[in-house]
Structure 1
Amino acid sequence: MPWFRPEELDEEQRRCYDELLGGPRDRSVLTDAEGRLEGAFNARLLDPPVGTAIQQLGAALRYGSRIGDRQRELVILTVAVAERCDYEWHGHVPGARRAGLSEQQLTALRAGAPVPGLSDDDRIACEVAAELLRDNDLCDISYARAAAALGLATLFDIVSLVGHYRHTALALRVWRVPLRAGDAAVFGGSHPAVEERA
């Protein structure tokens, strides 16, 4: 798909672009040196009203939900592993490190192994995400355990976070979004080079 330059955007696309860059996300990772949107954000310019709604949902889940930073990054990285999404993995490992996840924990997560040293709540959040990704549902036992430990509002946010990042992984695949310069494939997929984008 086209990799839109800011000067090529129509009025509706420009509103979507400006809202994204004016939001809470780290602007330095949203655009390349030419101001083009990175990752799935570029594709969202194809339909600005829908793209804006999707990016607003993502911002609400990342910056306004009841999920703490550590749990949020654990859940997102669990999605990245299940979807074999290198772009999501690279995009969220720095946040996971800032939230206190160790290299040993990240290595276990990437391998799909039990993550050592998690609190009970963090472990339950990971288990909920993994079950949702594997079964597209939660069994009654998992639901009851998560609701009791985390509360229904946090469980709602985790379900929403899994759905949003699964959607993002799908968009990254369909639009063949290349990894950023310097990022290598983690899950063995092939990615177009950055310079191959139109």
Structure 2
Amino acid sequence: MRLPDLDPTDLTDAQRELRERILGGPRGDGPQHFPLATPDGALTGPFQVLLHEPSLGAPLQELGSAVRYATGLSDRVREIAILSVAAATDSAFEQWAHARVGRAAGLHDTELAALADGRFTSLDATEQAAYGFCRRLLEDTSHVDDEVYARLREDLGTTTITELVVLVGYYRTLAQLLDVFDVGVPDEQR
């Protein structure tokens, strides 16, 4: 990583508050499918980057928490969308972390491999429509014309469309942060 790990004992008040919100919020509750912190207490993945800039990191982690825990997306649809972003952006950390979350959400190894390869299909109409929409958002020509929008509104509804647009934007931002600051899969997890 291009940024130093931040020792929990050396944090500013704003960094300490952000760290506590990340570890003590919904991400820290319930089953942990990937570690949020290393054994020495440094945060993993994008959270370590966010901790370096708490004025941006705090609202960004709040958005991420809302995307993960406060939408109407099913767990499977949410993870299909996140893994679509991970594949399109070649984000090793997001692929590694959310393959574990996706498996817990009911995605099978063949589905996870198909998502990683950009060739996912589902017999579930909502899952397929959500995947197709996310892939469209991740393309260079992501424009949604009236015909496409009408089909999406019929297949997904406006709430799900909004949730997916925000999810893709959020995880694309994380993928860019992970890339710029060279954050990969934690060494002890390789």
Q: What TM-score, normalized by structure 2, do the two folds share?
A: 0.91
1:18 maps to: 20
| Structure possessing the higher relative contact order (Cα contacts under 8 Å, 6 or more residues apart) | 2
Q: Quote the Cα distance in structure 2 between the aligned partners of 1:85 and 1:118.
A: 27
Runs of at least 5 residues in structure 1 that lack an aligned partner in the other structure: 185-198
Alignment of 1:125-140 (within 5 A): 125-134=130-139, 135-140=141-146
**1:165 is matched by which residue type in structure 2?**
Y
Instruction: Kindly indicate whether residue 94 of structure 2 is the aligned counterpart of residue 88 of structure 1.
Output: yes
**2:4 is matched by which residue type in structure 1?**
P
2:125 maps to: 120
1:2 maps to: 4
Stretch deviating more after TM superposition (90-99 or 76-85): 90-99
**1:118 is matched by which residue type in structure 2?**
L
Instruction: Kindly indicate whether residue 72 of structure 2 is the aligned counterpart of residue 69 of structure 1.
Output: no
Instruction: Kindly indicate whether residue 103 of structure 2 is the aligned counterpart of residue 97 of structure 1.
Output: yes
**Structure 1 residue 158, shift from structure 2 partner:** 0.2
**1:73 is matched by which residue type in structure 2?**
E
Q: Quote the Cα distance in structure 2 between the aligned partners of 1:132 and 1:123.
A: 14
**Structure 1 residues 6, 149: CA separation in 2 closer, same or farther (over 3 Å shift)?**
same
Q: Determine if contact 2:22/2:28 at 8 Å carries over to the other structure.
A: no
1:192 maps to: none
**Structure 1 residue 169, shift from structure 2 partner:** 0.1
Which of these residues, 168, 174, 184, is aligned with residue 168 of structure 1?
174
How big is the alpha-carbon RMSD for the aligned residues of Structure 1 and Structure 2?
A: 1.5
Q: What percent identity do the matched residue pairs reach?
A: 35
Aligned residues: 183
1:195 maps to: none
Which of these residues, 90, 93, 116, is aligned with residue 110 of structure 1?
116
**Structure 1 residue 141, shift from structure 2 partner:** 2.7
Q: Deviations 1:44-98 (Å, cap 9, x if unpaired)?
A: 1222121010000000010001111000000000000000111100110112112
Q: Quote the Cα distance in structure 2 between the aligned partners of 1:40 and 1:5.
A: 16
Q: Determine if contact 1:90/1:183 at 8 Å carries over to the other structure.
A: no
Poorly superposed stretches of 4+, deviation over 3 Å: none
Runs of at least 5 residues in structure 2 that lack an aligned partner in the other structure: none
Q: What TM-score, normalized by structure 1, do the two folds share?
A: 0.87
Partner SS, residue 42 of structure 1: helix
Q: Quote the Cα distance in structure 1 between the aligned partners of 2:46 and 2:73.
A: 23
Q: Determine if contact 1:128/1:142 at 8 Å carries over to the other structure.
A: no
Instruction: Kindly indicate whether residue 184 of structure 2 is the aligned counterpart of residue 178 of structure 1.
Output: yes
